[in-house]
């Protein structure tokens, strides 16, 4: 049965407890329409709720809400189960069905915001030509090991290997930035130990909600992170404005690099460079 995500804008004054009660009513009504609402995310700051449901159709999922409590979603999109799991994960829920924040305080809700990070090995296409297959593979292997160690240490989930880099997802925005910093610092150590074959990497990251402008899961956030990575200079960490704002007061330093013109974005995008040198 297809998997759907619906997105609700919370009316002013609606509390997480109100959402829990509405979800309970969904559970009472869903069988009538062959629907199974599984879990939901509450973003208190953004005043949004994201629900996952197995349903025969989007209309059936919507009908459950209509009959159960009348809180209708802004939109409903079909999502691939594997994609939802990779980006959102989060199997631990409260008794009411709200997804809990991994590693957070007891009953702390996961808002559903994810930070997407890309790495890109500089001049990767010329490595084989200039160094030969064996040396090029060794350098790329060093990149992979350094990035994966940082992901493991700081709560990142590898989504895929891009051939000359890695794409990862984080629940914690500060964790993503600290991961990028660790990657650059470890690569710097590697370059000092291997001056004949320095390994330089660009990093780009962006944070966002599951569904923003496009009807695909984290599509806009993934695109922005990838574009920032492509735009970054060697050894630079470029992050979106949302990341810089989410990291205020977290002991991280950023330099505002101004508004960038990025492919696929209709208006300039403000970006920041994360400081990583000690």
- Percent of the chain topping pLDDT 90: 63
| Same domain assignment for residues 68 and 157 | no
Cα atoms in the 13 Å half-sphere on the side-chain side of 184: 22
**Banded pLDDT at 216 (limits 50, 70, 90):** low
Q: Which of 186, 268, 187 is nearest to 228 (CA)?
A: 268
| Same domain assignment for residues 155 and 233 | yes
In a domain, 99, yes or no: no
Instruction: Tell me the whole-structure pTM to 2 decimals.
Output: 0.87
| Same domain assignment for residues 50 and 119 | no
In a domain, 255, yes or no: yes
In a domain, 270, yes or no: yes
| Same domain assignment for residues 182 and 247 | yes
> In this structure, what CATH number is given to the domain that contains residue 135?
3.30.70.1230
What residues does 78 pair with on adjacent strands? 4
| Same domain assignment for residues 39 and 76 | yes
Residues listed for the chain: 278
What is the structure's pLDDT at 24?
94
Is the per-residue pLDDT at 229 higher than 80?
yes
Mean pLDDT to the nearest integer, 150-162? 93
Torsion, Cα 189 177 227 121, to 10 degrees, reads 20
Q: Which of 73, 41, 226 is nearest to 55 (CA)?
A: 73
> Maximum Cα–Cα distance for the chain, whole Å?
68
| Same domain assignment for residues 42 and 136 | no
Residue 236 DSSP label: -
Give the relative orientation of helices 173-193 and 133-154 as an angle to the nearest 10 degrees: 140
| Same domain assignment for residues 144 and 203 | yes
| Same domain assignment for residues 71 and 140 | no
What is the structure's pLDDT at 213?
55
In a domain, 100, yes or no: no
What residues does 120 pair with on adjacent strands? 202
Distance between CA 206 and CA 119 in Å, rounded?
A: 12
Q: How far apart are the first and last CA of the chain?
A: 52
| Same domain assignment for residues 81 and 127 | no
- Beta carbons of 272 and 239 less than 8 angstroms apart: yes
- Beta carbons of 202 and 232 less than 8 angstroms apart: yes
* Domains: count for the chain: 2
- Percent of the chain topping pLDDT 70: 95
Is the per-residue pLDDT at 241 higher than 90?
yes
Is 190 or 136 the better-scoring residue by pLDDT? Answer: 190
CB atoms under 10 Å from CB of 239, counted, come to 31
Q: For the chain, how big is the Rg over CA atoms in Å?
A: 21
| Same domain assignment for residues 174 and 218 | yes
| Same domain assignment for residues 130 and 53 | no
Residue 103 DSSP label: T
Compute the mean pLDDT over every residue in the chain, rounded to the nearest whole number.
90
Cα→Cα distances 121→116, 149, 161, 169, Å: 17, 16, 12, 18
Distance between CA 154 and CA 48 in Å, rounded?
A: 27
Mean pLDDT to the nearest integer, 58-86? 91
Identify the domain containing residue 37 by its residue range: 3-88
In a domain, 152, yes or no: yes
Cα→Cα distances 237→101, 120, 183, 231, 240, Å: 26, 11, 10, 10, 10
Is the per-residue pLDDT at 37 higher than 80?
yes
**Of the residues 45, 70, 88, which one is the last residue of a structural domain?**
88
Is the per-residue pLDDT at 276 higher than 70?
yes
- Beta carbons of 18 and 30 less than 8 angstroms apart: no
In a domain, 107, yes or no: no
Cα→Cα distances 222→2, 18, 189, 234, 267, Å: 23, 32, 29, 20, 17
| Same domain assignment for residues 179 and 238 | yes
What is the structure's pLDDT at 245?
94
What is the structure's pLDDT at 93?
87
Residue 109 DSSP label: B
Give the relative orientation of helices 58-68 and 16-29 as an angle to the nearest 10 degrees: 110
């Amino acid at each position: 049965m297809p998997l759907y995500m619906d997105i609700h804008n919370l009316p002013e004054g609606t509390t997480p407890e109100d959402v829990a009660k509405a979800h309970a009513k969904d559970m009472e009504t869903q069988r009538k329409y062959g629907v199974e609402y599984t879990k939901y995310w509450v973003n208190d700051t953004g005043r949004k709720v994201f629900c996952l449901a197995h349903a025969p159709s989007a209309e059936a999922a919507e009908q459950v809400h209509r009959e159960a409590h009348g809180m209708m979603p802004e939109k409903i999109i079909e999502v691939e189960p594997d994609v939802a799991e990779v980006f959102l994960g989060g199997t631990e829920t409260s008794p009411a069905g709200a997804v809990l924040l991994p590693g957070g305080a007891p009953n702390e809700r996961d808002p559903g915001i994810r930070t997407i990070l890309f790495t890109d090995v500089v001049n990767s296409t010329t490595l084989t030509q200039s160094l030969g297959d064996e040396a090029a593979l060794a350098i790329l292997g060093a990149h992979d090991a350094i990035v994966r160690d940082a992901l493991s240490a700081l709560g990142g989930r590898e989504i895929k290997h891009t051939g000359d880099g890695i794409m990862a997802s984080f629940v914690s925005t500060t964790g993503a930035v600290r991961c990028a910093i660790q990657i650059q610092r470890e690569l710097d150590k590697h370059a000092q130990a291997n001056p004949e074959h320095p390994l330089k990497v660009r990093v780009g990251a962006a944070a966002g909600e599951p569904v923003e402008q496009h009807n695909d899961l984290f599509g806009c956030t993934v695109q922005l992170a990838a574009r920032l990575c492509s735009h970054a200079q060697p050894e630079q960490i470029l992050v979106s404005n949302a990341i810089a704002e989410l990291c205020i007061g977290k002991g991280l330093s950023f330099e505002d690099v101004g508004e960038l013109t990025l492919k696929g974005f209709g208006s300039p995008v403000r970006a920041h460079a994360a400081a990583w040198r000690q």
